[in-house]
A and B are shown apart, each in its own frame.
Chain A
Amino acid sequence: MELTAKLVNLQKHYDLGTVVVKALRGVSLDIPSGDFLAIMGSSGSGKSTMLNLLGGLDRPTSGEYYLRGQNVALLSDDELSAIRNGLIGFIFQSFNLVAQYSVLENIAVPLLYRPGYPPVSSEDEDRCNEMAKMVGLGDRTDHRPYQLSGGQQQRVAIARALINDPAIIMADEPTGNLDSKTGEEILGMLTMLNQEGRTIIMVTHEDEVAEKAKNQIFMRDGLIAGTGIFKG
């Protein structure tokens, strides 16, 4: 089975001067391609830290991380940026849309940072429109984020994450700021994207959310405390 990610004794420490916070204290994990993994655990257990490392936003203090067989430690800052741009799509708890941009412009942000900076073509623009339609916002492409509900904003974020057709989607508590019905819709979308063949890695502390994933791991104090298929 092909591996999307392989973690070997991964550690992440935050040196705060007076104390050193050990957010991850040695995590080893294989994530196969096409997985839908839920990272669970209570607040402060190291879930986000782990997702950030997986997403190439941060570098581990020690241990190794192979992303599709590549040792991330050997990659430059710009190479990591390129990976985040093309291989990974990010979805955040608080949506994180660019406030001054319209729906369409938000969806197009990852297009601005493609390697080699190809100009945004009219096909690209068509694709942004399609993407907006796909997440059910085809009639709201000109709206600004503040004119949208939380659920709608998160849909825009999903469309944005998908615009460069990434193989991996990383979502940090994507339903955390949504009511349960809207949350379910978002989860439905992630499930669909997983069925298309994309690898989904999602952080959540809610059982009802985690049970939609194929696999779950439980974090406690910077370590994986348990793994396994959720017993629904």
Chain B
Amino acid sequence: MYHLFRTIRLAVKSLLLHKLRSGLTMLGIVFGVFSVIAMLAIGEGASKQAQEQVLLLGANNIIVVSKKPPEDSGSSGSGGSVLRYGLTHEDFLILDRTVPRLEGIVPVREVVLNVRNRDHEMNSRIVGCTTEYQEMNHLELSMGRFLSEQDLVNLTNVVVIASETAESLFPLENPLNKSVQIGNRAYRVIGVTKERTASAAIGGSLSGQDYNKDIYMPLDTFQSRINTKNIIVKRGQGAFSAVSVVYDQITLKIDHPKIVDEPEIIIATAEMVRETMDAKHAVARDVDVIVPLELLKQAEQLRNIFNVVLGSIAGISLLVGGIGIMNIMLATVTERTREIGVRRALGARRIDITQQFLIETIVLSGIGGLVGMGLGLTTPAAFEAIKYVVTNYILESGGATSEMTNMFLTMTPQIAIWSLPVAFGFSVLTGLVFGVYPARSAARLDPIEALRHE
């Protein structure tokens, strides 16, 4: 142990012979290791974010959504006619009857409408839902209560509002038991939900959900008070058009505690749901079945691809660092030819000379690796700084942001603990690989020639 320490100390002394040069050479490795760790942290952060968002949709859930059919499917009409599509109450009944292991089934109707409290107003997503909606979407309450069975049966005019909705409509007062106005009716606020992370947008069929600007009301209240005749008139592209949808979404929760070990059950159930839905909607193509668990698998695959690609890029920078090291060590060997001759005269074998220069190279790259690791640990902080710059100087304030930008802004790099030893190991390995040739060329020198070297 002490022997090793001495060996390293002597190697460091030799490296300090040319401080600047050793330092600059080391930078190659420093940034190589740094980028390995940073790239993997960003990849990990992105995938964790994707996973979390998917999990917020519920790993046990199967989500059936209505979607506007493609223009060519024949059932479309525009400019005044009513467009009917999507999930019907019959669908709901079939699913409720046929899907095995059903723990819960929540039909949802939603629409974005103007909501007011005296002179405070905003556009809010009104969600008509049942009591189970709360649990399925991991909503927590900061005050009051969520919708109850009683509310559903009695068609009470009550709502639960989300955190941002509460802030906008009731900036100075406690919203509980106050009323909000939607259309020309007033609804009593019975609860406020806590802030909740947005869920992922899923390839066009399920848009990212904010949840924080929502208003929840009993489904039947929605159907009778807001969605009379299931027709909602929307202003789109100049002309009025009316759409008719019974349910926007039906979320099925499957009872299956060992979800991680046996995901097949969910997948198989989802397959069944797809077939059931296809039987009715295959022609119109107005229903989509979304399985968060499948998305999770996709997210994992994506992460692996990310890791390989980013890791390779970072690996290349380590390679470049290694070439830099080799270059400098070759120069060092030439410069210290005389020293090599002296050591040989004093009894060093060829293997000792090889070892000495190899150790010097490894110490150089190893220290570079340690510094790189240190830098790598600052990745989350550095990323925050970049985010700050982007939000303050690059993005226009209030301007629309793309899905990509949003993902970037809400993402935090996750340093993968394993990447630290791996990156360090690679830096040492780089030193080893690129140190062999210079070290061996040092050992091959003829002692007499080396001693005569000026």
By a beta-carbon cutoff of 8 Å, the part of chain A in contact with chain B is 52, 55, 57-58, 77-78, 81-82, 84-86, 90, 92, 96, 98-101, 105, 109-110, 112-114, 119-120, 160, 164
Chain A residue, CB-CB nearest to B18: A100
Q: Is B3 on the interface with A (CB-CB < 8 A)?
A: yes
A78-B349 contact in complex given A57-B451, A109-B343, A119-B2, C-beta closer than 8 Å:
yes
- Measured between beta carbons, the chain A residues less than 8 angstroms from B451 are 57, 92, 96
Q: Chain B, 172-209, contact with A by CB distance < 8 Å: what is the 0/1 string?
A: 00000000000000000000000000000000000000
Please measure, in the bound complex, the distance between the C-alpha atom of A114 and the C-alpha atom of B3, giving whole angstroms: 14
Partner of B17, one of A57, A78, A100, A110: A100
Q: List 27 A-B contacts (CB under 8 A).
A: A77-B350, A81-B344, A81-B347, A81-B348, A81-B349, A81-B352, A82-B349, A84-B346, A84-B347, A85-B347, A90-B345, A90-B346, A92-B342, A96-B338, A96-B341, A96-B451, A98-B339, A99-B339, A100-B17, A109-B343, A112-B352, A113-B343, A113-B346, A113-B349, A114-B347, A119-B2, A160-B346
When distances are taken between beta carbons in the complex, the residues of chain B under 8 Å from A109 are 343, 346
Would you call B346 and A110 a contact (CB within 8 A)? yes
**How far, in angstroms, from A78 to B3 measured CA to CA in the complex?**
22
Alpha-carbon distance between A104 and B16 when the two chains are bound, in angstroms? 18
CB <8 Å contact, A58 and B448:
yes
With A58-B447, A113-B352 known as contacts, the answer to whether A120 contacts B347 (CB < 8 A) is no
Q: Which of B324-362 contact A (CB under 8 A)?
A: 338-339, 341-352
Interface of B is mostly: helix
* Contact (A101, B350) CB under 8 Å given A55-B345, A81-B344: no
Chain B residues with CB under 8 Å of A78's CB are 349-351
* A98, B342: Cβ atoms closer than 8 Å: yes
Judge whether B6 is part of the interface by a CB distance below 8 angstroms: yes
Q: Which residue of A lies closest to B356 (CB)?
A: A112
Asked whether B345 lies within 8 Å of A100 as measured between CB atoms, the reply is no
- Could you say which of A100, A110, A113, A120 contacts B14, with CB atoms under 8 Å apart? A100
CB-nearest residue of chain A to B7: A112
Contacting residues, chain A, for B352 (C-beta < 8 A): 81, 112-113
Asked if B10 is an interface residue, CB under 8 A from chain A, the answer is: yes
Residue of A nearest to B15 (CB): A100
In the complex, the answer to whether B345 meets A86 with C-beta atoms within 8 Å is no
Contacting residues, chain B, for A105 (C-beta < 8 A): 10, 13
B2 contacts A57, CB within 8 Å? no
Q: Which bracket fits the contact residues of B?
A: 20 to 34
The 5 closest A-B pairs by CB, nearest first: A85-B347, A113-B347, A119-B3, A81-B349, A96-B342
Given contacts A78-B349, A110-B347, 13 further A-B contacts (CB under 8 A): A57-B448, A77-B350, A81-B344, A84-B344, A85-B348, A86-B347, A92-B342, A92-B451, A105-B10, A110-B346, A113-B346, A113-B347, A164-B347
- Determine the distance from Cα of A160 to Cα of B348 in the docked complex, in whole angstroms: 14
Q: How far is the CA of A164 from the CA of B342 in the complex (A)?
A: 16
Complex Cα–Cα for A25 and B426 (A): 55
Contacts of B16 in A (CB 8 A): 100
Residues of B within 8 A of A55 (CB): 345
Are the CB atoms of A57 and B345 closer together than 8 Å? yes
CA distance A113 to B17 in the complex (A): 22
With A58-B448, A96-B342, A120-B6 as given contacts, are A113 and B348 in contact (CB-CB < 8 Å)? yes
B residues 1-38 near A (Cβ < 8 Å) are 2-3, 6, 10, 13-14, 16-17
State whether A101 touches B6 (Cβ < 8 A). Answer: no
- Minimum CB–CB distance from A107 to chain B (whole Å) comes to 11
Q: In the assembly, what is the distance between CA of A85 and CA of B448, in Å?
A: 16
- Alpha-carbon distance A58/B342, docked complex (angstroms): 14
Chain B residues near A77 (CB-CB < 8 A): 349-350
**Could you say which of B2, B3, B447 has the most chain A C-beta atoms within 10 Å of its C-beta?**
B447
Residues on B with C-beta less than 8 A from A96 are 338, 341-342, 451
Q: Which residues of A contact B14 (CB under 8 A)?
A: 100
Contacts of A52 in B (CB 8 A): 448
Within the complex, what minimum Cβ distance (angstroms) separates B353 from chain A?
10
Residues of A near B342 (CB, < 8 A) are: 92, 96, 98
| Most chain A beta-carbon neighbours within 10 Å: one of B16, B347, B348 | B347
Q: Which residue of B lies closest to A109 (CB)?
A: B346
CA distance A105 to B11 in the complex (A): 12
User: CB-CB < 8 A to A99: which residues of B?
Assistant: 17, 339
Q: Which residues of B have CB within 8 Å of A164? A: 347
Instruction: Report the Cα distance A105→B10, complex, angstroms.
Output: 9
Measured in the bound complex, the distance between the Cα atoms of B13 and A100 in whole Å is: 6
